[in-house]
A and B are shown apart, each in its own frame.
Chain A
Amino acid sequence: MMRLVVRRLLLAIPLLLVVSVLSFVLTSLAPGNAAETILGSSATPASVTALERQLGLTQPLWEQYWNWLSHAITGNLGTSLTTSEAVGSTVSARLPVTLALVIVGTLASAILGVALGTVSALREGVVGRVIDGLAMLGFSIPNFWLGLVLVDLLAVKLHWFPATGYVDLSQSPSGWARSLVLPVAALAAVGLTGIAKQTRDSLREVMGREFIMALRADGMPERRIVLRHGLRNAAIPVVTLVGVFFVGMLGGTVLVESVFVLPGLGSLAVSSAQSGDLTTLQGIVVVFCVIVVLVNLLIDLAYGWLNPKARLS
């Protein structure tokens, strides 16, 4: 197991390099840069050129990248081109918001999705068809649209939850939970319905296997068969899906954080991309990449926990 962890972490190094190069190149290919953003629409070309020189944007791209990388490997993610603030502190101030959103979203979609999928698998007929229908609906509804509808109904009309904003957990645990409900609902809808469908299909397949029949013949109660044997065997594809949805939710924060005005990394990524703030964007990309690597590692470890055969291989 330790070898697996070490191997995965070592593989993450070239992956981070490739991702950082790609994001650097792609961002620099987009029209515009930080100097133009800072000076706005009424700037003269001369003042833009002067500021570009001051910000180091006239250097060749590889040189700009090397400057960034040589600092990044020492843990210094540089300073924002547009605000002059340290990228590391900006990112660390916003990371908890995004993590809270994605982790709570993943937990909610996994727990509720597995519960719904289990009920659906065990009860044929209408319940199964309803869950199938909900799964299709969940996949087809854009999360930002769902967010707007939830805000209008549950925040503006019913005043149950705040329409926008984030409350820090240390400030008020109940406020924190309430501030997360609507964004998490918008973000987790796709994952929840997808996991429900996968759980249903997978559990139905497992429940039809011979060893389940043997357990029934042995007199084991049905609830115990489902919980201890059926779900555990059905969990492997579900765990894969949970990992995929976690990464998807990380991407989804870009829109959801904007709609709910949450001070996370997703909204920072949008504003940095719009303003051509390469260094901040690079910092966010690196952090997102590290999170994805860690999540994939956790999934690999979960495989081993769920399936001893995988541990051996």
Chain B
Amino acid sequence: MTTPAHEKRWTRRVSVAAAASTALVTLAACGGSTSNSGNGNDGTLAIGMASDTLSLDPTSCAPPTYCFPAYDSLVHQTSAGKYAADLATSWKFLGSGHQTLRLTLRQGTHFTDGTELDAQAVVASMDNFLKTPGPNQSNAVPVDKVTASGKYSVDVHYSTPVTYDFALWQLSGQNGLGTIVGPKGLANPKSLNTTSDGIGPYKLDAAATLKGSVYTYVPNRAYFNQSAIKYSKITLKPMQNARSRLSAVESGQIDWAQAIPATDVDTAESSGLRISTGKLGAAPDGMPMLVLAQRNTGPLANVKVRQAISYAIPRTQIAKAVYGSSATPTSSMVPAGAQGYNEADTNLYPYDKTKAKQLLAEAGYPNGFTLTVFDPTVFDANNTLGQALVSALAAIDIKVNLVSSDASAGTVSQQVGSGKYPAYVWNAGATGTFSLAKVNFSAGAYMNPFKVATDPTLEKLVKQAGLAATQSEQNTLMKAATARLDELEWAVPVASVPTLQATRKDITNVPSSYLTRELDPFSPVTSENWSPANG
């Protein structure tokens, strides 16, 4: 029997396709074990980032880790929360008003574009930050302006007295304002996505960078401290799925997985990874709280009602159930490690339903009331905290109408800013007293959308702290300000939730705990730099 030509073709095509498929699978399976591209010992530090950045322009670099390799800041915050010289070598307040900070700049240092670092360049960069809309812009409050006071000297002017700690923290790389961009980069901000223009141990390698996938940095041989360069390559890879980050670090594809869930700590440790605890937990997990915003009218205007709500929250149970064993229940707005921390306040409102009911009755609400609570999932995944609050407040006859939203943090901020919700779940991460009083709770800010006037006692204490002559006096006044803030109970904190980082053990100098907002492997202090174990 003869075979028609089209039938031969059919058989041949099936055979070719099957052979190709088999070849592909064989090729893949026989390719050997995976190479550990992120293994620190090969000279590369590979970082699995929890989120992508909008841009590599420091005005929009969020989280700032994306800009750490290529941009030093005026002041460096060490992992212990102390401040060290970086692009500024010294600083002092002018006069006793604590409203002008003079910085002396490092000399003989150059940007990647070849320009020398001087006061003019620093002023231009900071001016640009103050003017450019971006996710970090609010971090610059209450800076009024920046002026040059000499070729290598810059003055930062504030609208209110500020503490040393706050001023230096604001100028560190954690915030953006003190991250200095060279003149050519400022002239063409779009170029910063392909060519970094800073003073940092590394510089962007545009050819090996793909937005949203991998950002690659290579050593900057013009950096003033060559001994701080420990790697031949740095890669930052956005990996939004926490499970994927953990798998990647476990399998050796990356060296550091950012922000792993508390529930995965045991798995990570059993895989031989090291866990670093960021005590000042970053948003959106660091400091979950219920903001009692409508303090201009209605039940929430009464401090006894706000305190009653705080007494009704079983923090220990909620913290463990919602945030895991690494979370610390607290009734203070300021967590341990942040400026103004007041240990006495951590249990200021112990769980006490009787006391809560009594305070409600004294405030004129013996039968409770109805409260609408906005509960965005960006700050409360799956609304677990919101549901716990509903049940806790039902016990003191406050009926909560929980309104959920899946919008982004920026949209949620505008939704609460519209004054539509009397109360909402919020999480701005761990914050010190000065920021809370002068920024977050200022009239119209996202924690005070009803523009309620601030408290004179709190204002006075914060101002006095800003003017304090000694660190000890300043600390005492800040603690007093925290006590006042916690007494006013404008928001009900639930727990302090640390940020957990998983790193491979073949990297040295990774701190077991740290007090910065973001963990920073690149320090101008040589002894702080991460490095390969055999490097």
Q: Is B247 within 8 A of A160, CB to CB?
A: no
Q: A48-B414, A160-B33 are in contact. Are A261 and B21 (CB under 8 A)?
A: no
Instruction: Find chain A residues with CB under 8 A from B418 CB.
Output: 45
Q: Is the CB of B54 within 8 A of A276?
A: no
B1 near A261 (CB under 8 angstroms)?
Answer: no
| B24 & A163 in contact (Cβ 8 Å cutoff) | no
Query: Which one, A48, A85, A111, A173, contacts B17 given CB within 8 A?
Result: A111
Judge if B251 is at the interface, Cβ distance under 8 Å: yes
Contact mask for chain A residues 140-175; partner B; CB cutoff 8 A; 1 contact, 0 none: 000000001001100110011111111000000111
What is the chain B residue whose CB lies nearest that of A85? Answer: B211
Q: Which of A39-57 contact B (CB under 8 A)?
A: 39-45, 47-48, 50-51, 54
Chain B CB within 8 A of A3 CB: no
Q: Is there an interface contact between A43 and B31, defined as CB atoms closer than 8 Å? A: no
Stretch in B130-138, B148-156, B336-344, B481-489 with 4+ CB within 8 Å of A: B130-138
Q: Are B428 and A41 in contact (CB under 8 A)?
A: yes
B243, A31: Cβ atoms closer than 8 Å: no
Interface string of A64-104 (1 = CB under 8 A from B): 00000000000000000011110000100110000000001
Report A-chain residues with C-beta under 8 Å of the C-beta of B211: 83, 85, 90
Residue B528 CB within 8 A of the other chain: no
Given A32-B408, A108-B21, A111-B17: A164 in contact with B133 (beta carbons within 8 A): no
A27 to B277, CA, bound (A): 38
Which residues 23-57 of B sit at the A interface, judged by CB distance below 8 A? 24-25, 27-29, 31, 33-34, 37, 52, 54-55
The chain B residue sitting closest to A263, CB to CB, is B213
For the complex, give the distance between the alpha carbons of A86 and B314 in Å: 51
Residue count of chain B within 8 Å CB distance of chain A: 70
With both chains docked as a complex, state the minimum distance between the C-beta of B254 and any C-beta of chain A, in angstroms: 8
Complex Cα distance, B415 from A206, in Å, reads: 61
For the A-B complex, the count of residue pairs with Cβ-Cβ distances under 8 Å equals: 195
**Could you list 19 A-B pairs, sorted by A, with CB under 8 Å?**
A32-B408, A36-B414, A37-B54, A37-B411, A38-B135, A39-B137, A41-B409, A41-B413, A44-B445, A111-B17, A148-B247, A152-B247, A156-B271, A162-B34, A163-B244, A220-B1, A228-B3, A260-B244, A261-B241
Q: Given A156-B250, A261-B241, A263-B210, answer yes or no on A112-B413 (Cβ-Cβ < 8 Å).
A: no
User: Are B241 and A258 in contact, CB atoms less than 8 angstroms apart?
Assistant: yes
State whether the Cβ of B239 lies closer than 8 Å to any Cβ in chain A: yes
A174 touches B31 (CB 8 A): yes
Residues of B contacting A177 in the complex (Cβ-Cβ under 8 angstroms): 24, 27-28, 31
- A261 B11 Cβ-Cβ under 8 A: no
Chain B residues with CB below 8 A from A181, complex form:
25, 28-29
- Is B134 a contact of A39 with CB atoms below 8 Å? yes
Complex contacts, A161 vs chain B, CB 8 Å = 28, 34
Q: Is A275 an interface residue (CB 8 A)?
A: yes
Other-chain residue from B25, B133, B252, B415 in contact with A47 (beta carbon distance below 8 A): B133
